[in-house]
Amino acid sequence: MSTSLVSLAALVNAFNPVTPQLRVAALIVQRGRILLVEHRKRDQRYWVLPGGRLQGNETLDAALQRELREELGLEARVGRLVIVCETLAPDRHMVNLIYQVEIGEKAEPRLDRSDPVLAGWQWVSVDQLPRLDFRPPIADAVLEVIAENFSGPVRMLGDTWKPEPR
């Protein structure tokens, strides 16, 4: 590539800041287990709380309900906001809003097989969470919220980004 094209690309990147995006996520706990979704991206597999990005003209509650329906076929009741954190990676800025969510005791998740990012779902014992590749890396805050039975203050964690393992 010519020097002028490289310089032009660097200049475009310098004046094209990453636009922050909102992601809503559900902290669903039943019988000492947390519902997690396995993601498959960039040749990596890791666990996240179910949820997704906000779309235009959509409330936070509506976005989370839509994401749970789309990803897992679940109808949910969105409760209170429990954790706020950011991912300020070199290529993205994600603001994560994590809510307490309830689904029926007999609700059975059904994974959307048409989404190539979704590799699976699982009910994971609360004590297993720190041993998983869980992203963002907020297992300690999640465990604190659960230990307080969702009655404590909203956790404001700031930037939680860590370089991805290679």
Q: pLDDT digit string (tens) for 88-129?
A: 888 889 999 999 999 988 899 999 888 889 899 999 999 999
Residue 115 forms part of a structural domain:
yes
Domain count, the chain: 1
1 in a domain, yes or no? no
Return the CA Rg of the chain.
18
Q: Which tokens go with 64?
A: 């989370």
Q: What is the pTM of this model?
A: 0.85
Q: Which domain holds residue 24?
A: 18-159
In Å, what is the CA distance from 91 to each residue of 7, 94, 104, 163, 165? 19, 10, 38, 11, 16
Q: What is the mean pLDDT of the chain?
A: 89
> Has residue 108 been placed in a domain?
yes
For residue 123, being part of any structural domain is answered with: yes
In a domain, 165, yes or no: no
Indicate whether 9 belongs to any domain: no
Is the pLDDT assigned to residue 15 strictly greater than 70? no
Domain CATH number, residue 151: 3.90.79.10
Calculate ∠ Cα 100-105-106, nearest 5°: 135
In a domain, 45, yes or no: yes
